[in-house]
Structure 1
Amino acid sequence: MKRFILKKLIAWKNSPYRKPLILKGVRQVGKTWILKEFGRNYYKNIAYFNFDENEEYKQFFETTKDVNRILQNLMFASGQKIVPENTLIIFDEIQDCPKVINSLKYFCENAPQYHIACAGSLLGIALAKPSSFPVGKVNFMQIDPMTFSEFLIANGDENLAAYLENTNTIEPIPDAFFNPLYEKLKMYYVTGGMPESVLMWTNARDVSAMQEALSNIINAYERDFAKHPNISEVPKISMIWKSIPSQLAKENKKFIYKVVKEGARAREYEDALQWLIDARLVHKVYRSNAPGLPIAAYDDLSAFKIYLVDVGLLRRLAHLAPTAFGEGNRLFTEFKGALSENFVLQSLLTQFEVAPRYWTQNNPPYEVDFLIQRENDIFPVEVKAETNISAKILKKFKELFPDKVKLRIRFSLDNLKLDGDVLNIPLFMADYTDRLIGLALNKQ
């Protein structure tokens, strides 16, 4: 498998401002694999320490802040060799190790010659706690589920991935590429981007093994709910998690607490929802009142939508069978196009610094699926799971905010084209949204 984050890891290694690295990402998204792969290919040696498998290693960080003594103890205990600059030191499963996390400050200040990369399944939770943390002394990196482009490479479709990578004009995609990309995207909706699920499909074409892989990942996440420090929150986390397909199946996908449980109130479930957000198992998209800058200044904090970390996990959690793959556009249109929205959001989150928002108007009812901030511009985004669609909502948005809209973006199953100021992007090109916007703006 090829993961594009490797380029960022190489840049981190070569940076003169390199600090200890914290790699964040959900369980089974490939954190340990990519760090070991990075170490094997770009260092002479790897020193790997797993604080879940070897809890006794934590003691070395509790008795001293001297990093040379810590490393000496780790080498003696594990039999591994550490040479400054030639060794990638990996601290794994550090989410329950506040002393290890805090030690990164001293590695940064007193031993910058060591290359240290850390990972952990629930690091988002650990870092959200008000404990001693090395602010400004670490580099952060986020690893997300495999993108559609990464899926294509894993599936042996390097030619299709290369075609997308080298598209640098806004013109229709030839059928020889469009049709297979459309079919491969349906398969991606089925497998999602979790590496184990992708592996079960790309290596063995085993649908049942792929289904089981996704079920096992979901079960592992649900077991993690019990790690919330307040045991009374665990059932609430579980209920919110299981309600997500129902939330997204509504015409208006705004998160409603009463869908979680009849009579539920926000204040009773806010902490449980925040746990899922901190764990990055779900993405929270706020409603925006207007397309102004900065986009966060116009958030309506009382209204938001919730999406899952991965489109394949959403399909599995919703119990939508893989046989939908062979039923025309069903995967794209099922439960109000929620899989397509989830997929597009995943792609946008990896490309833009600011998280997307959405916009609605009540009377008459209009909803723009996403607003994205690119540099100092706001772009309305509509996600459609059909072909030959109108741009009624995007048209209304421009009428309301004529001076704010340079370009309107629509994802659909139609071909790539620029129609006035409406850029239609085929869903399978979502990974290249940022570049396509740039090309469209230069063409206007």
Structure 2
Amino acid sequence: MKRLILDKLLVWKKSPYRKPLILKGVRQVGKTWILKEFGRLYYDSVAYFNFDENPEFKQFFQLTKDVNRILQNLMLVSGQKIEPDNTLIIFDEVQDCPEVINSLKYFCENAPQYHIACAGSLLGIALAKPSSFPVGKVNFMQIDPMSFTEFLLANGDENLVHYLESVESIEPIPEAFFNPLSEKLKMYYVTGGMPESVLMWTEARDVNAMQEALSAIIEAYERDFGKHPNASEFPKISMIWKSISSQLARENKKFLYKAVKEGARAREYEDALQWLVDARLVHKVYRCTAPGLPLSAYDDLSAFKIYLVDVGLLRRLSQLAPSAFGEGNRLFTEFKGALTENYVLQTLVTQFEVEPRYWSQTNPPYEVDFLIQRENDIFPVEVKAETNTKSKSLKKYKELFADQVKLRIRFSLDNLKLDGDVLNIPLFMADHTDRLIGMALGNQVTH
């Protein structure tokens, strides 16, 4: 499978400012595979150390801070040669090894000629703990579930990927591309972007194996909930996790603690929710009171929405059968378009540095699904799961914040077009949002 993060890893390898790398990502998103593949393609050799399988390796880091001694011990125990610049050293499952994480500081300062990459499934949790963390001495990279683009590549649809990349102006996509892309997107909603699930579909075309792969991943996550340091949080994390699909199926997708458990209060469940956020299993999207910079200054911390890390996991967790794939546009509209909103958020998170927000007002009720910051501009985004696309909330948003609105964005099943200042992006082009906004702004200048 081609993962687009390889390009970023290559930039890291070649950078004169390279530091040891920490690759973050949820369990089974493909961290180990991508690091080994990167080593295979771009290094003479790979030295791989897994601290879950070989906990005795931790001792080498507990006994000394001298990186040369650590490397010598690792070479002796593995029988592998480790050469500066030519060997990629992979430390895997480091989330429970503070000494290994701490040693990165000394590798950075005393042995920068060694290329080191670390991975671990609950690293977000480990890094949220205040410990002797090597601040400023490491590079971070995030690996997310496979995007729709990566799904198309895995599915052998390079021609569709090349076509989408070649689009250079805002004009309708011909039906010969539009229809197959819409169909493939439905399939992506079913499999999601977890590599094993995608593999079961793209290689074996086996729906049952794909369903089982997703179930196994969800079970692995649920077992991880038990790793919260405070055992009493375990049932709370589970309850929040299980409530996500019903929360997203509401008209108003604002997260409600009382939907987790009757009478539940925020302060009882905040820690459990934060654990899921730190683990990157969920995305927390705050309500924004006004489109100002920085966006975080306008967060309403009491109101937020929760989305899942992956649309396929959301479908599986919601127990929606894959057969919905064959039923017209049902998959896009199911749960009031929750799968579609989750999919759009997933791709926006990877394209824009600032986490998206949403905007709403109560009297009368209006809501814009997302606000995204691109450079120093903020754009309102509406997600429509169908082709009927009247946007009352986008209209209202423009009335209220006329000076700040260069462009309004709508995702739907309609074709690509720029209608005044409303850019309609077909859902299957969501991976190209950043580029399409750039084109649309260019268009406005010339007209």
Identify the TM-score tier after normalising by the shorter chain. Answer: over 0.9
Rounded to whole Å, the distance in 1 between the matches of 2:108 and 2:338 is 44
Q: Give 2:159's aligned amino acid.
A: N
Which letter maps to 1:52? D
1:388 to partner: Cα distance? 3.0
- In the alignment, the residues of structure 1 paired with residue 134 and residue 401 of structure 2 have an alpha-carbon distance, to the nearest angstrom, of 43
Letter in 2 for 1:158: E
Report what 2:41 is aligned to.
41
Tell me the equivalent position of 1:394.
394
1:86-135 CA-partner distances (Å, limit 9, x unpaired)? 00000000000000000000000000000000000000000000111000
Aligned match of 1:139: 139
Q: How does 1:355-434 map to 2 (within 5 A)?
A: 355-434=355-434
Counterpart residue type for residue 66 of structure 2: D
Q: What is the Cα deviation at residue 166 of structure 1?
A: 1.4
Alignment correspondent of 1:82: 82
Question: 1:53 is paired with a residue of what secondary structure?
Answer: coil
Aligned-partner Cα distance in 2 for 1:259–1:413: 31
Secondary structure in 1 matching 2:2:
coil
> Could you report, residue by residue, the CA deviation over 1:272-330 in whole angstroms, capped at 9, with x for unpaired residues?
00000000000000000001111111000000000000000000000000000000011
Aligned-pair CA distance for 1:79: 1.1
Structure 2 counterpart SS, 1:410: strand
Matched residues in 2 for 1:14 and 1:114: separation? Answer: 12
Give unpaired runs (5+ residues) of structure 2. Answer: none
1:391 is displaced (CA, Å) by 2.2
State which drifts further: 76-85 or 418-427: 76-85
Q: Secondary structure at the match of 2:388?
A: coil
- Name the structure 2 match of 1:29: 29
In structure 1, the residue matched to 2:343 is 343
Spell out the pairing of 1:181-330 with structure 2 (5 A cutoff): 181-330=181-330
Partner Cα distance (2:276, 2:150) in 1: 26
- In the alignment, what sits opposite 1:152? 152
- Work out the CA distance in 1 between the residues paired with 2:162 and 2:217: 30
Cα distance in 1 between the residues matched to 2:422 and 2:391: 8
Deviations 1:214-257 (A, max 9, x none): 00000000000000010000000000000000100100000000
Q: Secondary structure at the match of 2:404?
A: coil
Cα distance in 1 for partners of 2:93, 2:70 equals 17
Letter in 1 for 2:192: G
Counterpart Cα distance in 1 of 2:389 and 2:287: 24
RMSD: 0.4
Identity of aligned residues (%): 85
State how many pairs are aligned. Answer: 444
Q: Which amino acid aligns with 2:296?
A: A
TM-score between the two structures when normalised by the length of structure 1: 1.00
Matched residue SS, 1:403: helix
Q: Take 2:265 and 2:371, find their aligned partners in 1: how far apart are those partners?
A: 28
How far apart, CA to CA, are the structure 1 residues paired with 2:81 and 2:240? 46
Looking at structure 1, the residues matched to 389 and 274 of structure 2 have their Cα atoms a distance apart, in angstroms, of 36
Q: Which amino acid aligns with 2:330?
A: R
**Equivalent position of 2:55 in the other structure:** 55
Q: Which moved more, 1:75-84 or 1:58-67?
A: 75-84
Q: Using the TM superposition, name which of 76-85 and 173-182 deviates more.
A: 76-85
| Cα separation, 1, equivalents of 2:397 and 2:388 | 20
**Equivalent position SS for 1:145:** coil
Aligned counterpart, 2:167: 167
Deviates more, 1:69-78 or 1:178-187: 69-78
Q: Distance in 2 between matches of 1:174 and 1:437?
A: 20
Report the Cα offset of residue 80 of structure 1. Answer: 1.5
Which runs of structure 1 show a deviation greater than 3 angstroms over 4 or more consecutive aligned residues? none
| Distance (Å, rounded) in 1 between the aligned partners of 2:148 and 2:169 | 20
Structure 1 letter corresponding to 2:25: G
